Structure 1
Amino acid sequence: PRPPYNAKPGEKFISIDLTNHTVAAWEGDKVVWGPVEAVHGSLPSPTYPGIFHVQTKLVNAHMKNDEAWDGPYDTWSPWTMYYHGGYAVHGTYTRWNWVQTNYGGSHGCVNLKPAKAKELFDWARVGTPVVIHRAGVI
């Protein structure tokens, strides 16, 4: 596949494909992990396209919002990598449906099954680019 980002040879980056609802890890122009299924944000809390960078990595992150559009939530998410404010790639134990819909996605984060989130967490470093795109285009 054609990389969605113009990486230097060997440069690591995370690709989040909003069209195919997948996450992959790349090194330069080669996929080295994935793609794996993911659930990203949906209306009215979308995941926004762009180029970001892993800012913080937390083995277990406390996520709480008393004013979410679908009601309050208070949960712990494993293998969390924040890339823009409160937006993160993380594992989730509470999701039972892995089919992306227009409603019922995440609150803007990118959800992975915990085992897959740990693999990506172990591979990435703070500073790793996170490229969020649709159908291969940023």
Structure 2
Amino acid sequence: MRVRGRRPGAGAGAVLLVGAVCAGLPAAPVQAAPPGGPDGGRRAAEREKPCTAGTGPYQRQVEAFLKRLPDGRQSTEDCVAIRRFQRAHQLERQDGYAGLETYRQVQIEQTGGKPNADGACPERSYKVVCVDQKRQLLWVQTGSRTDFGPVPMRTGRYGQETRPGMHRVVRRVRDDRSQIYDNAPMPYAQYFDRGQAIHGRHDSLYDGGGSAGCVNLKLKDARELWERLRLGDHVYVWGRKPGT
């Protein structure tokens, strides 16, 4: 393999031509990394695109978590800090707005990997799916060990609340559809109380007041939970969803 180096005096942004490794492939230009490494590139991108999102409904809580002045008013510096947090966690919205999705991620981070620190979800020798309606978080634990999550979820809206108590998974359907609500898709459905199930949602968890009683998860989280659970596994639901 032959490499043509930079011309003397070429800057950090110069293009290097690297010979093909596989026979028959032409050489391709490779752009040198931006000055200052990844952080330098990130800061440059942020300078190129001003952060202009307004004050969000969870502004004060997010500011406090990010160790910004928790005054509940968006500033350019607040916006940039929130946007950086959103990007780091690959959230749907990455514009610096302190909305529900961002606040939910803050709540996950605040657990410090110990979502059951208050002991609200029963610790048993067997697997328990913990459905915390107050924080809208779900995780799986065996005893005091967290096996999965916490991950964000969405439970039932006012008048269609998810029923509390200790339940068991009684039916599993990988590609189910609702027989009540317009044939709506219910991927990775795991039923625990009559028609109420934990299942994935193709759309956002944050685009409405709540579900019709099921426990909605992001599709990737529902898929992983499907792989972890079996018929007869326990599901414990407690607390009240905000707004119900």
What TM-score does the superposition give when structure 2 sets the normalisation length? 0.48
Q: Which residue of 1 aligns with 2:139?
A: 24
Distance (Å, rounded) in 2 between the aligned partners of 1:5 and 1:92: 24
Q: Which residue of 1 aligns with 2:152?
A: 37
| AA at the equivalent of 1:81 | Q
User: What is the number of equivalent residue pairs in this alignment?
Assistant: 124
Residue 64 in structure 1 maps to residue 172 in structure 2: no
Q: 2:204 aligns with which of 74, 81, 96?
A: 96
| AA at the equivalent of 1:131 | Y
Distance (Å, rounded) in 1 between the aligned partners of 2:191 and 2:128: 14
Equivalences for residues 1-138 of structure 1 within 5 A: 1-9=117-125, 11-65=126-180, 72-93=181-202, 95-98=203-206, 104-134=209-239
CA contact (8 A) 1:37 1:98 kept: no
Counting strand residues as a fraction of each chain, which structure ranks higher? 1
| AA at the equivalent of 2:217 | L
Distance (Å, rounded) in 1 between the aligned partners of 2:238 and 2:224: 21
Distance (Å, rounded) in 2 between the aligned partners of 1:133 and 1:21: 10
Q: 1:114 offset after TM fit, Å?
A: 0.8
Q: 1:97 offset after TM fit, Å?
A: 4.2
Distance (Å, rounded) in 2 between the aligned partners of 1:97 and 1:32: 23
The runs of 5 or more residues in structure 2 that have no matched partner are 1-116
Distance (Å, rounded) in 2 between the aligned partners of 1:3 and 1:31: 12
Distance (Å, rounded) in 2 between the aligned partners of 1:97 and 1:84: 21
CA contact (8 A) 1:4 1:15 kept: no
Alpha carbon RMSD of aligned pairs, Å? 1.7
CA contact (8 A) 1:55 1:127 kept: yes
What TM-score does the superposition give when structure 1 sets the normalisation length? 0.82
Q: Greater RCO between the two (CA within 8 Å, min separation 6)?
A: 1
Q: 1:64 offset after TM fit, Å?
A: 2.6
Moved runs in structure 1, 4+ residues, more than 6 A?
A: none
Q: Which residue of 1 aligns with 2:85?
A: none
| AA at the equivalent of 2:152 | E
State which structure, 1 or 2, has the greater radius of gyration over its C-alpha atoms.
2
Q: Sequence identity, in percent?
A: 26
Distance (Å, rounded) in 1 between the aligned partners of 2:118 and 2:144: 7
Q: C-alpha offsets along residues 46-69 of structure 1, whole Å, 9 cap, x if unaligned? A: 11210000001111111032xxxx
CA contact (8 A) 1:46 1:108 kept: yes
Counting helix residues as a fraction of each chain, which structure ranks higher? 2
The runs of 5 or more residues in structure 1 that have no matched partner are 66-71
Q: Which residue of 2 aligns with 1:69?
A: none
